[in-house]
Structure 1
Amino acid sequence: MSNIWDDEWLNRRYYEGLLPEAAERHLHLAARSYADDVRAEDHLMDAIAIAPEHMVVYLGLYKFYFYKGRLSEALATARICLQRSAAELGIDPDWHKVRERQADFGSYDAPQARFYMFVLKAYGYLHLRLGHLATGSKIMDKLIELDPTDKIQARVLLEVLQKKEEDDE
């Protein structure tokens, strides 16, 4: 039986050759080093240095910060992901200016648009968690505007926020 962290595991490829092998290896090394914050973060930064044009390296950094409870850093990384996702879609990098007609945000068949929505939801959620309630609420409203059928389930977060505000009164 092989060790989960052996060279075969470290050298596996998930991104169909789209991500440089060295960057992907650093993502795996970051996972292996997860308990050592400094080492894991160093590997994530190395992956970004190798492949700064690939969203997946930023997602790795975002997840690391999020699961470590480093929410301010997760927010900053989510902002980068949001801007990169907007650029890939060819829409305004300012989420305030994005309109429903600019992409098929409510469709499961439009992966780039759906990804943008998930990143925007994460961005809004982090604002809420950090106590930036007005901004988080505006982002959730934007999600509902872009996806009126609410496939992204932003209404749930808005309901939690409304309940919290009622409880605080």
Structure 2
Amino acid sequence: MPDTFVSPQVEINEALVTSALLGRGLPTEAEHHLWEAGLSYHLDDIAERHLREAESLAPGHAAVLIGLYRFYFYKGRLAEALDVARRCLLKAAEENNFSTDWRRVRASDAEFGRYENILPRFFLFSLKGYAYLQMRLGETEEGRLAVEKLLELDPTDKIGAKVLLGVLERMGQDDD
């Protein structure tokens, strides 16, 4: 994709990070490391070390995965962000009792359109991040499939997947 592509709001939103559902069971020390990672964001090695410490204390915890995803995403380390997005998808599928293959998740599996349904939203945001990163890394067909799945699960497009679909449809066209 061209470097001029502007990212839509793909970060997993703050409500998900602070949700009691996603934050439950996070050890205090892991939470401390997440906090320290945020404070030292400008110091890559230190921030990443704190994130890895949090991960060692709470492996697979959604809050830690989200922290890792955001760090790699905003640092432009997109391949690493994609790896974490895959882990977020698996975590979200497990938390929602969905198939671990996102392609097999159906709209009837959850009430995806309800804002207050944090766990299904975590799945949608994870899939959106996955789709966006696939597109950015040149895997446009995989990105398109994920965007189409988002629109199947969220037909009213509360998650904003149509923005990504629009980008896919405009790819290869001149800017004028």
Q: What is the aligned partner in structure 2 of residue 75 from structure 1?
A: 82
Identity of aligned residues (%): 50
Distance (whole Å) between structure 1 residues aligned to residue 84 and residue 113 of structure 2: 24
Q: What does the per-residue CA deviation read over 1:75-111, in whole Å, with 9 as the maximum and x for residues that have no partner?
A: 0001101100100000001111111111111221321
1:24 aligns with 2:14: no
Residues 29/102 of structure 1: CA separation in 2 closer, same or farther (3 Å cut)? same
Greater length-normalized contact order (CA 8 Å, ≥ 6 residues apart): 2
Q: What is the aligned partner in structure 2 of residue 104 from structure 1?
A: 111
1:144 aligns with 2:148: no
Distance (whole Å) between structure 1 residues aligned to residue 130 and residue 97 of structure 2: 19
Match for residue 57 of structure 2 among 50, 71, 80: 50
Match for residue 160 of structure 1 among 148, 164, 167: 167
Deviating beyond 3 angstroms after TM superposition, the runs of 4 or more aligned structure 1 residues are 14-18, 165-168
Specify every segment of 5 or more residues in structure 1 that has no aligned partner in the other structure, as ranges: 1-13
Give the residue type in structure 1 aligned to 2:116. D
1:34 aligns with 2:9: no
Residues 127/53 of structure 1: CA separation in 2 closer, same or farther (3 Å cut)? closer
Q: What does the per-residue CA deviation read over 1:14-43, in whole Å, with 9 as the maximum and x for residues that have no partner?
A: 667742110011111112222221221111
1:114 shift after superposition: 1.3
Give the residue type in structure 2 aligned to 1:64. F
Q: Secondary structure at the match of 2:171?
A: helix
Residues 113/17 of structure 1: CA separation in 2 closer, same or farther (3 Å cut)? closer
Distance (whole Å) between structure 2 residues aligned to residue 45 and residue 109 of structure 1: 30
Distance (whole Å) between structure 2 residues aligned to residue 115 and residue 18 of structure 1: 17
TM-score normalised by structure 1 residue count:
0.85
Specify every segment of 5 or more residues in structure 2 that has no aligned partner in the other structure, as ranges: 1-17
Aligned length: 155
Residues 167/135 of structure 1: CA separation in 2 closer, same or farther (3 Å cut)? farther
Worse overlay, 28-37 or 52-61:
28-37
Q: Secondary structure at the match of 1:151?
A: coil
Q: What does the per-residue CA deviation read over 1:124-161, in whole Å, with 9 as the maximum and x for residues that have no partner?
A: 01111111100001100000111111111211110111
Distance (whole Å) between structure 2 residues aligned to residue 29 and residue 75 of structure 1: 23
1:115 shift after superposition: 1.5
